[in-house]
Amino acid sequence: MNPSEPFFEYIRSLSPHISYHSDLEYRQHLRRIFRFSPEKRTYYANVKPSDLDLDSDLDLDLDPISQDEMALDMDALEEGMDIIFLATCDDPIFRVLYEYAAGRMFSTDSKIGQAVLCSYDTFPWYFSCVWHHLVDSKEKPVVELQEYRQLCSWFSIPFHSIR
């Protein structure tokens, strides 16, 4: 982990605590944390019925929520997740989190585990743990965080398995 990495400098400037009460707010936090480019959209956002061998008269007008879901900068998301993963994957605390989270998807792939941790239900806890790992781990170890304990509870991780 290179602490001078521009992404880490940016993370340091953010609050370690996020909260949201809707899908829209969740995606707004993803956009802010992973520094999405506002003009980018998911790779499948511009799919036409003809691309899918569907009836070209099919009406694909999307509701506002679907439009918002498609306005995601997948390149920035992947890059940010890769940087975070490389900074955390050798830490036993995060390895166990990734392992248990991946298991929820019947997987042993740590990157799948990270994606699960970035999901709606657990992202605030995961982000707080990442923030403290990158910024404040000497002052407040991740295992002492309430958010870490919440992740352990959510994924049924025995607390002693990490110590």
126 occurs within a structural domain: yes
**Alpha helices (runs of H) in 13-109, residue ranges in sequence order:** 23-33, 64-70, 74-88, 92-103
In a domain? residue 103: yes
Q: Mapping DSSP to helix (H, G, I), strand (E, B) and coil, where does residue 91 land?
A: coil
Q: Is residue 42 part of a domain?
A: no
52 in a structural domain: no
Q: In terms of residue numbers, what domain contains 149?
A: 6-37+73-161
DSSP 63: P
Cβ contacts of 88 within 8 Å, gap of 6 or more = 94, 130, 133
pLDDT at 73: 83
pLDDT of residue 65: 79
Is 63 inside any structural domain? no
DSSP labels, 146-162: HHHHHHHHHTT--GGGT
Segments of the chain with pLDDT less than 70: 1-4, 40-62, 160-163
Q: What is the pTM of this model?
A: 0.83
Does residue 55 lie within any of the structural domains?
no
Q: How far apart are the first and last CA of the chain?
A: 22
pLDDT of residue 58: 47
d(CA 131, CA 46): 34
* Two tokens, residue 120: 């709606």
Q: What is the pLDDT of residue 45?
A: 55
The Cα 59–Cα 55 span in angstroms is 9
Q: What is the structure's pLDDT at 160? A: 60
Evaluate whether residue 1 is within a structural domain.
no
Q: Which pLDDT score, from 0 to 100, does residue 155 have?
A: 96
Residue with tokens 């995606």: 27
Domain count, the chain: 1
The answer as to whether 142 is a domain residue is yes
**Mean pLDDT taken over the chain:** 85
